[in-house]
A and B are shown apart, each in its own frame.
Chain A
Amino acid sequence: MSERNNAMVEKYRNDFLKEVEANVEEGPWVKMCMQCGVCSGSCPFGPYWEHPPQEIFMMIRAGKRDEVLKSESMWMCTSCYNCIVRCPRELPITHIMHGLANYAHRLGIAPKMNPTRRFAKLFWQNIMKGGRVNELKLSVGLYFMDGFANGVKKGLAMLPVGIGMFKTGRLNPLGLLGGGKCKGAGDIHKMVKKAQEIENRRKGFAS
């Protein structure tokens, strides 16, 4: 190609699409979207999204980096998989949405107060402690996510359910003190640490 051609191509080269392809889980699929809209129409949360998946894909291809990564939209995905099942090009849309959300979080530009993001953080911290989810701590943590007064209110509202679960042996109140760890928690920590190192190196994140 001539130099002028190259210059024109360069002008239209979309850095954000490339960034998504390199760093977002299932990102290389984004260019395959043919904008039919069946994903947006099939999403049960569709009316509540600011940008439906079809629009997100177009925004990525239009290079709208900030609008996409700071969006709350992909955090709305509930993993119902309706879009994946119906997509005529078999794009793994659910995974791309989670990949985008995760990438925005890693960059530190995801919306800070997004409830899905806060719950995901809580869940990760919880499971990483003992290699297994401590359900009691997780739900209590969730109740107190929006302050002490709110937590007490939510906790009291859920009390009858808790008592019911306790009576049928589904809930151990001692869980609040810890316990329930898996045997090789230390080994799990080592494995995850190594995996994170590899991922950080591959995607260019600071560790």
Chain B
Amino acid sequence: MAGAVATNETILVVGGGISGMTAALEAAECGKDVVLVEKNPSLGGRVSQLYKYFPKLCHPTCGMEINLRRIKANKRLRVFTLAEVAKVDGGPGDYTVSIRLSPRYVNENCTACGACAEVVSAEIDNPHNYGLSKMKAVYLPFNMAYPQRYVIDQSVIGTPDAEKAKAACKYDAIDLGMKEQTMTIKVGAIVWATGWKPYDAAKIQPYGYDRFDNVVTSVEFERMMDPFGPTGGKLLRPSDGKEAKNVAFIQCAGSRDRNHLRHCSRICCMASLKQSTYVSEQFGDQGQSTIYYIDIRAIDRIEDFYAKVRANPAVKFVKSKVANITEDRTSADVILHGVDTEGYHRYDNRHDLCVLAVGMEPSVDVRTAAATVHVDASGFVEADPVNGAIFGAGCASNALDVNRAVQSATAASLRAIQVINKVSGAEV
């Protein structure tokens, strides 16, 4: 049982993505005690699943490495993975939080040598690749995972595979007897940075995400570019593995739609503009992108990026919300139907692959753990006095890009620090 690791001068950060890591580090580097909990087996969150991020098109692994070094170097920061907040009681300066710890079945002895995974035959969907590929049921979540420790999936527990993995371990790192635990800690303030999840594209019935192989989501497309991703870094369409040289992007797939998500998800325009550069990166002049949009919302300084993409003759812009998609049964090409707004021309355009720029929604409902927290119509945490010292950060508070998520996390961290300073008497 994990013991008392915190006091009411501790800050709890919920969620180990870019926002949570930032908030935790900022507070810990200011000399506060921080507990960071993450429900997945590794820190990193959605940013670790990106190939590149805009506007500079650098690889997130770089920023991830810097943050991990900061985390490893900081004694005031404790990280719990496979940990979920079940319930929050109390008020500012005096919260009692119960945290559910799921078993990893692998202890601190693990050196990530991988001998256990080699002997196991069971396979499961790889969530890091959004289920586009399979992986061994005993696994390291991804190459840069932190902590660098293998995980044994619940599904192999009690099967011969689990015993094989245990026998293969030279470091006595596998403990098949691990059970779910609950720990209760005291904290003074909470930063809620549980992030976002992609909107379920299958709910957008006319686009046929659940029916057509060659309709994918923007997050899946992102994984295709990763050299360690499901297609080994090549843009190959799912139906036949053909190179996807003629790609359609549909904006507002779920966002700005009262039937789905009411809000503008803000990042998807930039995401598709960025992904159109992937098509050019892979196929040069042979790669064609067509972006179907209502309005392009490339916010403030990243308007430059939009202008650059707009100047590329290989990228076409069609001002129209696509009405529906059909599939050519023989070639599995997708055909997009609609009417454009600039002249009201009816189109039936054929593409190799269609990417739905899916919207962001909050990954969890904060109210399941802390019932009184105020959320907006889309479920994002709003700044409100009734929240006490529970502060929303990053995509738990709004649909944000990485840049803005980090700003929001730093702001939330500062608010939490102020609460702790009052508790400790450092600030009146």
Contact = CB atoms under 8 A, between A and B. Distances in A.
Does A pair with B?
yes
B73 interface: no
Contacts of A85: 259
A88 B258 contact: yes
Given A37-B321, A88-B256, A42 B206 contact: yes
A38 B346 contact: no
Contacts of B340: 37
Q: Which of A41, A51, A55, A86 neighbours the largest number of chain B CB atoms within 10 Å of its CB?
A: A41
Interface of A: 34-38, 40-42, 46-47, 51-52, 54-55, 85-86, 88-90
Interface in B311-326: 319-324
Interface in B252-293: 252, 256-260
Interface of B: 206, 252, 256-260, 294, 319-324, 337-341, 344, 346
B324 A42 contact: yes
A63 B95 CA distance: 60
A47 B260 CA distance: 28
A42 B325 CA distance: 11
A51 B339 CA distance: 11
Nearest to B257: A88
Chain B: interface secondary structure? loop
A77 B320 CA distance: 21
B344 A38 contact: no
Contacts of B322: 38, 41
A54 B339 CA distance: 9
Contacts of A55: 344
Contacts of A46: 339, 346
Contact of B344 (A34, A42, A52, A88): A52
Contacts of A34: 256, 294
Contacts of B319: 37
B323 A42 contact: yes
A25 to B, nearest CB: 21
A41 B257 contact: no
Most buried by A among B319, B321, B340: B321
Contacts of B320: 36-37, 41
9 residue pairs, one from A and one from B, having the closest CB atoms: A41-B323, A41-B338, A36-B321, A88-B257, A40-B339, A38-B321, A42-B323, A36-B294, A37-B320
A165 B202 CA distance: 45
B323 A86 contact: yes
A42 B322 CA distance: 9
Nearest to B321: A36
A203 B172 CA distance: 85
A47 B346 contact: yes
A47 B346 CA distance: 8
Given A86-B206, A89-B258, A35 B323 contact: no
A86 B337 CA distance: 14
A86 B323 CA distance: 8
28 contacts: A35-B294, A36-B252, A36-B341, A37-B320, A37-B321, A37-B338, A37-B344, A38-B322, A38-B323, A40-B338, A40-B339, A40-B346, A41-B320, A41-B321, A41-B323, A41-B324, A41-B337, A41-B338, A42-B324, A46-B339, A47-B346, A51-B344, A54-B339, A54-B341, A54-B344, A86-B323, A88-B260, A88-B321
Contact of B259 (A36, A37, A86): A86
A142 to B, nearest CB: 31
Contacts of A40: 323, 338-339, 344, 346
A90 B339 CA distance: 18
A24 B340 CA distance: 26
A42 B206 CA distance: 9
Contacts of B294: 34-36
Contacts of B259: 85-86, 88, 90
Nearest to A55: B344
Contacts of A42: 206, 323-324
Nearest to A58: B341
Given A42-B206, A88-B252, A37 B341 contact: yes
Given A47-B346, A88-B321, A38 B338 contact: yes
Nearest to A83: B323
Contacts of A51: 344
Nearest to A35: B341
Contacts of A90: 258-259
Contacts of B252: 36, 88
B252 to A, nearest CB: 7
A160 B340 CA distance: 46
A54 B256 CA distance: 17
A70 to B, nearest CB: 18
A38 B293 CA distance: 11
A36 B250 CA distance: 12
Nearest to B256: A88
Given A37-B319, A38-B322, 5 more contacts: A36-B252, A36-B320, A37-B341, A88-B258, A90-B258
B166 to A, nearest CB: 53
A37 B340 CA distance: 7
Nearest to B338: A41
A52 B338 CA distance: 11
A119 B321 CA distance: 34
A42 B225 CA distance: 33
Best-surrounded residue of B259, B320, B323 (most CB of chain A within 10 A): B323
Nearest to A85: B259
Contacts of B341: 35-37, 54
